[in-house]
C-alpha cells in the first residue's frame, strides 16, 4: 500500500499511467504491485524500465571500461518509446548505444551484438504474447539472453539504483549529436541475411513446382520474410493483411504460431493458391510455425515434429557430418534425440529457454565438436550459431528447402514424419496451460509445485515412475537413491515413467501460467495418443485435489 501511495502521489507521473492507475480496483492494484517487475514479459512503464536499465548499465560499467549496447524493438504498443527511453538512460550513464531505427527481429539483435562487438543488447518485445503485453530482454556480449547467474548480478545493481522516479535520462537528439547514440547501419541487415541464406544445404534444388505462403502475423519478420524467399528463389504468396506491423494484431486473437487459429488466413491463402507449405512467424520473429499440405488438408506440425523433420533432413542430406552436438531442452520430445544419437551425434538437453542453448553454443567454441542443430518444442530453432537465440528466419530457409527436397522425391512432410515414426517409434506430446492470474494465481502455482515436489517416486495411476528430477533443488530421485543434477537451478519438476513417457511441470517465466508437458511413445499412433489422454486426466485430477 505504501508503494501504491507513492506512485499515485508522484506529481510528475506519466499522464497515461496515472489515468490507468486511477481506473484500477483495489484487487487489480494489489496484482500490479505485489511484486517487483522481473525480466521477460510483464507489466512495463518507463519508470520500472529506467531502474532496470540503470542497473544493467551499472553492471556493464563495472565489467567493461567502455561498454556499448545494441537496442532493438518490435511492433508492439510503446515498444519504440520504451526503446528510446532505454537509450536515454544508458546514454546518461555514458554508455554507447547502437540503435535500430526500425522494428527489428530478435535474432538480428543477437547477431548485431556480436557483429558490432558490443557488450550487451536489449530488445523490447513480448514475443508471441497477447497485445496488452510488452517485455524487456537483455543480452550478454555473445548475443545470448542473459542466464540467471548474470541476471542476479544485474539485479544486485538494480537494488542499488536511485528511486525510479528520479533516475536521470539524457536527451536522445543531443546524445546522437555527440555520438553516444548511433543508428545501426543497413549493412547489418545485408550481412545477417547473407548468413541466413547460407543455412540451406541444397540451394541448387529445382523450385518451379513449389509454393510457399508466408505471414509474419503483423510482426518484424515482414521486413525480411519476402526478401529471403526472393533471394533463395521460391515462389510465394504473402498474407497481405498480416504484412502490416500492427500492435493490436487485429487479424488474430493471439499472435502465436503454435496456435492453429493464428493460421486462419494462411489456411485460406493456401487453399486458394494450392501452396505446398504455410509458414507463420511470431511478432519478434524468433518462432516459426509450419503447416503442410497432405492429401488436400493442411496439417500444422508441432515444434517437436518440425524439429525432428529438420534434423532428419540435415542428418541424411548434409555432406561430411563431423563430430557434432544437437541441443534441445528438458521438455523437448525424445524423438529428435533418438534420430541424432543413431547418427552418432551427441545430444545435450538444457533447461527451457533458448538462452541456455545459446550459452552452450559458446562453450563449444574451440572444441573439436560443431554446433549441429538446436531446437525446443515451442517452435524455436537455430541451424547455425551466428545467432545465439532462436531464429525463425533461419528456420524459414530450412523448412522451405526440406519440404521442397522431399516433394521432389514424391513425399510430403507428413509422409516423412510417418517414416520417422516407423523408424524411431510413435511419439506424442501435449502441452497443457493452466491460466492462473495475479497474486492468488501465483500462490496456487506455488502450492501445486510444492505438492509435486513432495510427491514420491511411485506411480501416476497405472504408470510407474522410474525417476523424478527436481531442478530447483537439483536432484534426481529413484527408488535406489538420490543423485545430483548438474543443470542450473530452476523451478521445474520432471517425472520419468517406466514405459518411456514423461511429465514436466513448470511455472511460465513470462505469463501467469502453470505449464504441464506430457510425452508418450508407443509402437502405434493410436496407443501413443491414448496414453497422452489418460496421463493428462490423471495429472489434472491430482491438481484439482490440491485446491
Catalytically active residues are 127
Which bin fits 168, alpha (ψ -120 to 50), beta or left (φ > 0)?
beta
DSSP 298: E
Alpha carbons 526 and 303: distance in angstroms, whole number: 20
Q: Is 474 helix (H, G, I), strand (E, B) or coil?
A: coil
Alpha carbons 545 and 540: distance in angstroms, whole number: 9
Question: Which candidate, 110, 180, 188, 100, places its Cα nearest to that of 146?
Answer: 110
Alpha carbons 373 and 402: distance in angstroms, whole number: 15
Strands in 346-350's sheet, in edge-to-edge order, are: 346-350, 324-329, 370-376, 380-382
Grid cell of 291 as nine digits: 503447416
> DSSP letter string over 354-384?
HHHHHHHHHHHTTSS-EEEEEEETTTEEESS
Cα 395 to Cα 41, 214, 380, 398, 400, distances in angstroms: 24, 13, 8, 5, 8
> DSSP letter string over 116-170?
TT-SEEEEE--TTS-TT-EEEEEE-TTS-BPPHHHHHHHHHHHHTSPPGGG----
CA 346, 352, 353 angle in degrees (round to 5)? 100
50 and 85 in contact (C-beta within 8 Å)? yes
3-state secondary structure labels for all residues of 127-141? CCCCCCCEEEEEECC
Grid cell of 347 as nine digits: 545430444
Q: How many CB atoms lie within 10 A of CB 182?
A: 14
> DSSP letter string over 197-223?
HTT-S-TTS--TT-EEEEE-TTSGGGG
Nearest-10 crossing angle of helices 334-342, 413-424: 70
Consecutive H or E run containing 28: helix 26-33
Alpha carbons 52 and 314: distance in angstroms, whole number: 41
545 and 525 in contact (C-beta within 8 Å)? no
Grid cell of 12 as nine digits: 510528475
> Cα dihedral angle (393, 395, 398, 402), rounded to 10 degrees?
-140
DSSP 287: B
Grid cell of 133 as nine digits: 503485453
Amino acid at each position: 500500500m505504501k508503494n501504491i501511495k507513492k506512485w499515485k502521489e508522484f506529481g510528475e507521473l506519466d499522464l497515461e499511467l496515472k489515468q490507468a492507475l486511477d481506473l484500477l480496483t483495489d484487487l487489480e492494484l494489489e496484482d500490479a504491485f505485489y511484486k517487483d517487475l522481473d525480466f521477460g514479459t510483464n507489466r512495463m512503464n518507463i519508470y520500472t524500465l529506467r531502474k532496470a536499465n540503470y542497473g544493467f548499465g551499472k553492471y556493464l560499467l563495472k565489467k567493461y571500461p567502455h561498454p556499448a549496447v545494441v537496442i532493438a524493438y518490435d511492433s508492439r504498443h510503446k515498444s519504440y518509446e520504451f526503446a528510446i527511453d532505454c537509450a536515454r538512460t544508458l546514454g546518461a550513464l555514458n554508455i554507447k548505444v547502437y540503435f535500430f531505427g526500425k522494428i527489428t527481429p530478435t535474432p538480428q539483435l543477437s547477431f548485431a551484438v556480436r557483429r558490432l562487438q558490443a557488450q550487451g543488447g536489449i530488445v523490447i518485445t513480448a514475443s508471441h504474447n497477447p497485445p496488452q503485453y510488452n517485455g524487456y530482454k537483455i543480452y550478454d556480449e555473445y548475443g545470448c539472453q542473459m542466464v540467471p547467474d548474470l541476471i542476479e548480478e544485474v539485479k544486485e545493481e538494480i537494488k542499488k539504483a536511485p528511486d525510479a522516479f528520479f533516475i536521470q535520462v539524457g536527451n536522445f537528439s543531443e546524445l546522437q549529436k555527440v555520438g553516444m547514440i548511433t543508428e545501426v547501419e543497413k549493412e547489418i541487415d545485408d550481412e545477417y541475411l547473407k548468413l541466413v541464406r547460407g543455412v540451406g544445404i541444397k540451394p541448387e534444388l529445382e523450385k518451379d513446382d513449389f509454393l510457399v505462403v508466408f505471414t509474419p502475423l503483423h510482426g518484424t519478420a515482414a521486413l525480411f520474410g519476402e526478401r529471403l524467399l526472393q533471394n533463395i528463389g521460391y515462389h510465394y504468396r504473402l498474407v497481405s493483411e498480416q504484412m502490416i506491423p500492427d500492435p493490436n494484431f487485429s487479424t488474430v486473437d493471439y499472435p502465436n504460431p503454435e496456435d492453429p487459429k493464428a493460421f486462419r488466413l494462411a489456411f485460406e491463402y493456401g487453399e486458394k493458391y494450392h501452396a505446398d507449405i504455410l509458414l507463420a512467424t511470431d511478432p519478434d520473429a524468433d518462432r516459426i510455425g509450419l503447416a503442410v499440405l497432405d492429401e488436400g488438408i493442411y496439417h500444422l506440425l508441432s515444434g517437436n515434429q518440425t524439429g525432428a523433420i529438420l534434423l532428419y533432413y540435415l542428418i541424411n542430406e548434409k555432406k561430411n557430418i563431423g563430430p557434432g552436438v544437437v541441443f534441445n531442452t528438458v521438455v523437448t520430445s525424445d524423438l529428435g534425440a533418438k534420430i541424432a544419437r543413431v547418427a552418432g551425434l551427441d545430444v545435450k538437453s538444457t533447461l527451457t529457454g533458448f538462452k541456455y542453448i545459446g550459452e552452450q553454443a559458446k562453450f563449444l567454441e574451440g572444441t573439436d565438436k560443431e554446433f549441429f542443430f538446436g531446437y525446443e518444442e515451442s517452435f524455436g530453432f537455430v541451424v547455425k550459431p551466428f545467432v545465439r537465440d532462436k531464429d525463425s528466419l533461419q528456420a524459414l530457409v530450412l523448412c522451405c528447402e526440406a519440404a521442397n527436397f522431399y516433394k521432389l522425391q514424391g513425399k510430403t512432410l507428413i509422409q516423412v514424419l510417418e517414416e520417422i515414426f516407423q523408424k524411431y517409434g510413435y511419439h506424442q506430446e501435449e502441452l497443457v496451460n493452466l491460466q492462473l492470474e495475479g497474486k492468488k494465481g501465483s500462490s496456487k502455482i506455488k502450492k501445486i509445485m510444492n505438492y509435486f515436489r513432495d510427491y514420491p517416486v511411485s506411480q501416476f495411476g497405472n504408470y510407474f515412475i522410474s525417476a523424478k528430477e527436481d531442478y530447483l533443488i537439483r536432484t534426481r530421485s529413484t527408488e535406489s537413491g538420490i543423485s545430483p543434477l548438474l543443470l542450473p537451478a530452476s523451478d521445474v519438476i520432471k517425472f520419468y515413467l517406466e514405459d518411456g513417457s514423461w511429465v514436466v511441470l513448470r511455472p511460465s517465466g513470462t505469463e501467469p501460467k502453470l505449464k504441464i508437458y506430457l510425452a508418450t511413445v508407443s509402437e502405434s499412433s493410436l496407443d501413443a495418443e491414448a496414453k497422452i489422454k489418460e496421463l493428462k486426466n490423471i495429472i489434472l485430477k491430482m491438481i484439482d485435489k490440491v485446491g
